[in-house]
Amino acid sequence: MANEQLDIVFTAPHPDDLEITMGGTIAKLARMGYRVGMVHMTNGEPTPRGTPETREKEMRAAAKVLGVQVCEMLGLPNRVLMDNPEARYALATALRRYRPRILVGMAGRTPSASPDHYQGQLITEGARFYSQLTKWNERFDGTEPFRIDHLVYRPVRFAAEITHWHTQFVVDISDTIEQKIDALRCYESQFAGERFDGLEHFVRSLAGAEGASAGVRYGEMYALPRLLGITDMVALLGDWGIPSPFKQAASPINAESEGN
């Protein structure tokens, strides 16, 4: 395990969760020079198609494709992952070692998929709080307290409930969508043939829909559990990517010049 400060940590229950939901953003931030970490809570096994050794090999190959500095597996139990003190201690210990400003996790209850996803959300929330607690260092391998400024959610689109978020934003992943797909290809034990074709269709379709909502080709939508404070609205609101349905009219000054 590396012990280095990171700018941002992404966490989720199973290897392939982060790649499917947030791979484009992870690759984009790493490409921009930020120090990015991926923390998988479990090894994802047992599954009908994998082994622990295969899954870990695929996980590390995917992390290499995405270009992150740190990829760690906590070793919590798959299928029976529960939000409890021990799980919070495990993730909080990693957070206290990496000391990121931003923590990103999945959000949403998925009754048609693994219940681990929602438990992972609760563990992420609890661990973020635990990471700043004082006089408890013995519970976190002697690491020092650290406050994480920002908790960011990646809402699961097939969650059971429609959640109202205080703030939503979309990361433009148009330049990293292929990198995201390549990372998913690393999970050959889980996705091959028709299974991979279906996954790729889902990932591209969702990224296209979320991107279009923000005026870009491909995007990933994130949410904050609070309002977002800004100081420069002009800098925040860049060019709108949807082409205008009409030709831009010439300004009066240009029109007058053209008449001379």
Report d(CA 214, CA 237) in Å as an integer: 11
Q: Is the pLDDT of residue 242 over 90?
A: no
Whether 1 shows a pLDDT value over 50: the answer reads no
Asked if residue 127 lies in contact with residue 173, where contact means CB atoms within 8 angstroms, the answer is no
Average pLDDT of span 188-195: 95
Comparison of pLDDT for 241 and 149, the residue scoring more: 149
Q: Which of 10-14, 20-24, 34-38, 246-250 has the lowest mean pLDDT?
A: 246-250
Kindly state the average pLDDT of the residues 194-204. Answer: 97
Mean predicted confidence (pLDDT) in 163-190: 97
Q: By percentage, how much of the chain surpasses pLDDT 70? A: 94
CB of 83 within 8 A of CB of 122? yes
Residue 245 DSSP class: S
* CB 121, CB 28: distance < 8 Å: no
| Residue-range domains of the chain with CATH | 8-232 (3.40.50.10320)
| Whole-number Å distance between alpha carbons of 224 and 125 | 12
pTM assigned to the model = 0.92
Question: CA of 73: how far to CAs of 97, 151, 215, in Å?
Answer: 14, 20, 36
H or E segment to which residue 126 belongs: helix 116-130
Do residues 37 and 9 lie in contact, with contact meaning Cβ atoms separated by under 8 Å?
Answer: yes
pLDDT at residue number 157: 87
pLDDT category at 252 given cuts 50, 70, 90 is low
pLDDT at 106: 98
In SS3 terms, 36-66 reads as: EEEEEEECCCCCCCCCHHHHHHHHHHHHHHH
CB-CB contact of 219 with 231 (8 Å): no
Query: Nearest 5°: phi and psi at 27?
Result: -65, -40
Provide mean pLDDT across the span 153-174.
95
- pLDDT above 80 (res 247): no
Residue 67 gets which letter from DSSP? T
pLDDT of the residue at 3: 67
60 confidence band (pLDDT: 50, 70, 90): very high
Cα atoms in the 13 Å half-sphere on the side-chain side of 149: 6
